[in-house]
Amino acid sequence: MDPLDGRYTQNTAYQPQHDGTFWILSDADGWGAALDDPVYHIWSACDGRPTARVINALTEEANLSPAFIESTLKVLARAGMLNPSQPLDPFARPRPVEISELPSLPLVSIIILASRQARVHLETCLPSVLAQTYPNLEIILVDNQTTDDSAAFTEINFPSVKVLPTPDPLGFGGANNYAMKRAQGKFFFLVNEDTEMEPDCIAECVRKMLQSENVAIVAPKMKLFYMRPFINSMGNSIHPNGHSHDNFIGYLDAGQFDDTGQVFAVCFGAAMLRRSVVEQIGYLDEKYFVYYDDVDCSLRARLCGYDLVAAPQAVVYHKFNATVNTMASTFKLDLIVRNRLRFIWKNLDFRRAREFARIYQEQDRRNVAQAKEEGMEEVLETYRTSKRAWRRSWPELALARWRTRGLRTSSFSDDAMFALTDGLPRPAMYGRYPVIFAPAIRGHYMNVEAFRPDSPPAPEDLAVNFTAAADANLSIGQKVRRTWREKGAFGLVRETGQYLCWRWFTSNPGI
């Protein structure tokens, strides 16, 4: 457990500005975190006074419990927002895997996908790849029609890396498929160019792969490149109400998620795949272009009875949204509208696909209404073109669904797969910023060993249920109907009470 320091001061590298929703604490490069009012109030009170005086003042002025304040101080210090008078010790990390401990050293093909202006990222990515402790590697840079000197830079400075140019601009799936079909490895490690890997990353993933022939895909722990204490993902999930997100995104990494075993799906921004499984289930579906193609491939592996596992000690730092931010603003919207429909109708059982389609239709209807109200013609046109493209895909999609259904083993269950999303914490990102806010302190961090308060929690600190991440996209009526259907009257009464407590405490900053 982190000690409560005797005196905290604000890290002046971060300057606050309120954007109407959160206090954004950002550095000169625009990176930082978002705080809600109670957490910001605690941060702003740390002016060098003794911590005991700060806690007493906040308890009286803001009606915050000492336990809540103590946990928040510990979280802000680990996030780098506060400076304790004594430096914090790094979190203990398990001993890195010894290469001699691995039963074999199969060839791993590291496939780095480079698009557009990739050199600025490769300057960091490639040295970390070459520094891997795992010795049996084939390293391939896929030059997917880069527009700068990425290929020449790689050939001159990293001659051991094979540069593989694509004949035409390809999507994420197409470019990775192009490389996997030409790679020699028993395992593929797919990674984006906007990443940096810890030296034992590949060795840790191989260790997970060698534990069982049934492991198809390994998900390393991805962390935010510019805010390294925070997690980007360790696998990803689609919840029963249709909402999708990276697992644990926006949370400080204190090792609290390191017991994660199976994951719903894997983000292929960094992932290790077993070659034999890819050849059995088929390569990435290039119809997606980008988005949902990794979840689609993950699910096809599951349909065949394979496991998707996390590798918490295999760490990759990712420049969150770095490549997408170079594209048109409606690019992601266009792909998400189409691809999520393709995913559900291609892969899920008919009952669940129909329910997902209804949810997505309601979301799209709300978004279109808002776009009309605000005169956002570009967004409206994106919806129109996306829906037309979706309808044109129906004949091909029917064949794809038939093929995917043929992969299903008798033991596969959609319900068991979606049960893997139970208990996941809500996403904690606000645009590019991880969010530190009162519900997360009370519902998550106060239960993490590193951030436990020295004082006993107050009743209001125990009232927050911080799971069921996807509920934010459902109306109250939808939540009531779903809870009644899934958990009955007793479950509805219990969750209604929890919801009312959460709404009360989070809508009153003084509590």
Residue-wise pLDDT tens digits, 34-89: 999 999 999 999 999 999 999 999 999 888 999 999 999 999 999 999 999 999 99
Do 321 and 334 belong together in one domain? no
Mean pLDDT of 376-390: 93
Q: Which domain holds residue 363?
A: 328-405
What percent of the chain clears pLDDT 70, i.e. is strictly above it? 89
Mean pLDDT of 468-493: 53
Do 306 and 352 belong together in one domain? no
Residue 231 has pLDDT above 90, yes or no: yes
Q: 501 falls in which pLDDT band (50, 70, 90)?
A: very low
Rounded distance between C-alpha atoms, residue 97 and residue 105, angstroms: 13
Do 342 and 253 belong together in one domain? no
Q: Do the Cβ atoms of 463 and 505 come closer than 8 Å?
A: yes
Q: What pairing do the DSSP bridges indicate for beta strands 187-192 and 108-115?
A: parallel
Rounded distance between C-alpha atoms, residue 419 and residue 311, angstroms: 20
Q: Given this model, what pLDDT does residue 136 score?
A: 98
Phi first, then psi, for residue 311 (nearest 5°) are: -125, 85
Task: Output the domain CATH number for residue 115.
Answer: 3.90.550.10
Closest Cα to residue 312, out of 269, 258, 255? 258
In a domain, 428, yes or no: no
Do 306 and 381 belong together in one domain? no
In a domain, 97, yes or no: no
Mean pLDDT of 99-118: 96
Among the three residues 325, 346, 364, which one is the final residue of a domain in this structure? 325
What percent of the chain clears pLDDT 90, i.e. is strictly above it? 82
Do 169 and 62 belong together in one domain? no
In a domain, 460, yes or no: yes
Do 342 and 453 belong together in one domain? no
Residue 488 has pLDDT above 80, yes or no: no
Q: What pairing do the DSSP bridges indicate for beta strands 270-274 and 215-224?
A: antiparallel
Do 160 and 272 belong together in one domain? yes
Q: 498 falls in which pLDDT band (50, 70, 90)?
A: very low
The H or E element that residue 493 is part of is helix 476-506
Do 115 and 61 belong together in one domain? no
Closest Cα to residue 235, out of 213, 254, 258? 258
Amino acid identity of residue 154, one-letter, is T
Residue-wise pLDDT tens digits, 282-318: 999 999 999 999 999 999 999 999 999 999 999 999 9
Residue 227 has pLDDT above 70, yes or no: yes
Rounded distance between C-alpha atoms, residue 498 and residue 505, angstroms: 11
Q: How far is CA 240 from the centre of its chain?
A: 17
Residue 401 has pLDDT above 70, yes or no: yes
C-alpha distances out from residue 55 to 61, 231, 418, 457, Å: 10, 29, 42, 14
Rounded distance between C-alpha atoms, residue 500 and residue 465, angstroms: 11
C-alpha distances out from residue 159 to 69, 130, 183, 371, 394, Å: 53, 11, 17, 50, 46
Q: What is the 3-state secondary structure of 132-182?
A: CCCCCEEEEEEEECCCCCHHHHHHHHCCCCEEEECCCCCCHHHHHHHHHCC
Structurally, the chain folds into a number of domains equal to 3
- Strand ranges inside 402-444, DSSP E: 429-430, 433-436
CB count within 10 Å of CB 92 equals: 6
In a domain, 423, yes or no: no
Of how many residues is the chain composed?
511
In a domain, 239, yes or no: yes
Do 152 and 261 belong together in one domain? yes
Amino acid identity of residue 410, one-letter, is S
Mean pLDDT of 477-505: 52
Q: 371 falls in which pLDDT band (50, 70, 90)?
A: very high
Residue-wise pLDDT tens digits, 257-271: 999 999 999 999 999
pTM for this predicted structure = 0.88
Residue 484 has pLDDT above 80, yes or no: no
Do 305 and 336 belong together in one domain? no
Q: Do the Cβ atoms of 398 and 439 come closer than 8 Å?
A: no
* Token pair of 50 as six digits: 């003794």
Of 292-306, 436-450, 486-500, the range with the lowest mean pLDDT is: 486-500
In a domain, 427, yes or no: no
Q: Do the Cβ atoms of 239 and 427 come closer than 8 Å?
A: no
Do 321 and 335 belong together in one domain? no
Residue-wise pLDDT tens digits, 138-152: 999 999 999 999 999
Q: What pairing do the DSSP bridges indicate for beta strands 215-224 and 307-318?
A: parallel
Closest Cα to residue 501, out of 457, 445, 462, 469? 462
Among the three residues 281, 306, 325, which one is the final residue of a domain in this structure? 325
Rounded distance between C-alpha atoms, residue 236 and residue 244, angstroms: 7
In a domain, 418, yes or no: no
In a domain, 98, yes or no: no
Mean pLDDT of 205-227: 98
Do 18 and 164 belong together in one domain? no
Among the three residues 405, 429, 457, which one is the final residue of a domain in this structure? 405
